[in-house]
Amino acid sequence: MVVWKGKITMQFNKIKTQVGTYCNTPLLKITFIFLDLETTGLHPQYGDRICEIGLLKAKNGKIIDSYETLINPCRPISPGAFNVNKITANMVKNAPLFSQIVNDFFDFIKGSVIVAHNAPFDLEFIGSHLHNLGIPFPNNFVIDTLTLARAHYNFPGNSLGKIASYFGIDTYNQHRALGDTKITKEIFYAFLKNFKDRGVNTLYDLLELQGGSFVFPTYGEIILPPEVEESVKSKKKLKLRYVSAEGEETVRTIEPIEIIPYQDYTYLIANCLLRGERRTFRLDRILEMEVIE
């Protein structure tokens, strides 16, 4: 089995104490903030940082406002991250630091419910930045469309793109922060339409369906890429496009065994079907990954 430090938790006691007030508000009257980040890599506890943030504010399915900015991470962008978001060092060198936009972030999310796809990943990165600045975490309720997809649907895959394809949602500008918030918004409201038939009408109903509200994790946890986590839970293989330390690209099919953090990097131990033996893969050198049967 895959082992990692820490665990993203959800709270439900907090929700119960607020029944009859905000949590009993109909979903169509709730202001939702759709959040997405682009990052230099996968692991903030080993120095990876946010390089772009996108926020989309919507109510009753209608967009009210948006916020988007590149962020100077003050560190290189890994090959794996660049392969996805195409953000270069040149693009971020004159961008503001996270500390310079943190007040804008708090102002934008005030009084809203945060929605993200793979929310633990985003919460970990934001939590890491806030921790470093000595700023308390916000107490917004958090909905994760990935958790809802896994628990209540049976999509061919649970990536943002595959769910969007299932619903016929346009994926223009995917893998950039604001573009992904727009896709997440459409997926979320498609979910709400389906959940309404199950009697989900208020924020409390939705949080109960999810099992609680995600909360910001303790600083220092390791958040696995969703594809790795899914392959372990479903006992499926992973198809990787991987670049070695020498710059050689190969395509591998692997069976994940264990996650090991060492010094500044995190490594995936797996059975490699290409080589027919156990191999070690550095996560930031994985350019693409896909869960396969």
- List, by residue number, the catalytic residues: 175
CA 284 vs CA 26, 147, 163, 266: distances in Å: 42, 24, 25, 8
How would DSSP label each residue in 209-262? HHTSEE-PPPTT-----HHHHHHHHHT-EEEEEEE-TTS-EEEEEEEEEEEEEE
CA 73 vs CA 70, 108, 123, 210: distances in Å: 9, 21, 17, 33
Dihedral of the alpha carbons of 270, 273, 277, 280, in degrees to the nearest 10: -30
Nearest-5° Cα angle at 56, 54 to 61: 155
